[in-house]
Structure 1
Amino acid sequence: MNVSVEISMYPLADEFIPAIQGFIDDLNAHNGIKVITNTMSTQVFGDYAEVMRIVSLCMQKAHETTPKAPFVMKVLNGDLSPQVD
């Protein structure tokens, strides 16, 4: 089953951009998922188990480097990624 996940990270730090960029870079380092980023959130698409495994790993790493960093996620079964013709 495929999944679409929308994630927003809100580091509670003065220098928040490096933490957010690090999280996005970590997601993009993984093959097998599609990552799309905009100004408000990051969307991740792919196989349910693989997406959740990768998101969990990347969130854990983010929490280790930025201890106070809440995440907000929306998860939908199905792939809503933009299709390229």
Structure 2
Amino acid sequence: MQLTIEISKYPLADNYLEPIKGFIDQLNQYPNLHILTNTLSTQVFGDYDEVMAALQACIKWSFEQYGKVVFVCKFLHGDLRPQD
């Protein structure tokens, strides 16, 4: 089953860009996922189990690295990547 996630991260710190970039860099280490990033959110597309495993690992990593952050996620069934 395919999954699409839209995720936004809000670090509770003055230096907010580093934690956001770090999270995106962690997600990009998963070669089977398709990642699109814009100024408002990051979209993740891929197999349900792979996306959820990556998300779980990257959120845990983010909490361990940066402490308090807020994640806002939308989960959508299917691969809703924009068609080129």
TM tier, shorter chain?
over 0.9
Q: Which position in structure 2 is the counterpart of 1:14?
A: 14
Q: Which position in structure 2 is the counterpart of 1:52?
A: 52
Which blocks of at least 5 consecutive residues in structure 2 are unaligned? none
Q: Which position in structure 2 is the counterpart of 1:71?
A: 71
1:34, CA displacement in angstroms?
Answer: 0.3
Q: What is the TM-score normalised by the length of structure 1?
A: 0.96
Q: Which position in structure 2 is the counterpart of 1:33?
A: 33
When the two chains are superposed, the root-mean-square deviation of aligned CA atoms in Å is 0.6
Mapped to 1, the partners of 2:27 and 2:83 lie a distance apart of 20
1:82, CA displacement in angstroms?
Answer: 1.6
Mapped to 2, the partners of 1:48 and 1:82 lie a distance apart of 18
Which blocks of at least 5 consecutive residues in structure 1 are unaligned? none
- Aligned residue identity for 1:23: F
Q: What is the TM-score normalised by the length of structure 2?
A: 0.97
1:66, CA displacement in angstroms?
Answer: 1.1
1:83 aligns to 2:45 (yes or no): no
Mapped to 1, the partners of 2:47 and 2:82 lie a distance apart of 16
Structure 1 stretches of 4+ with a deviation exceeding 4 A read: none
Q: For residue 52 of structure 2, give the secondary structure of its aligned residue in structure 1.
A: helix
Aligned residue pair count: 84
Mapped to 1, the partners of 2:38 and 2:53 lie a distance apart of 22
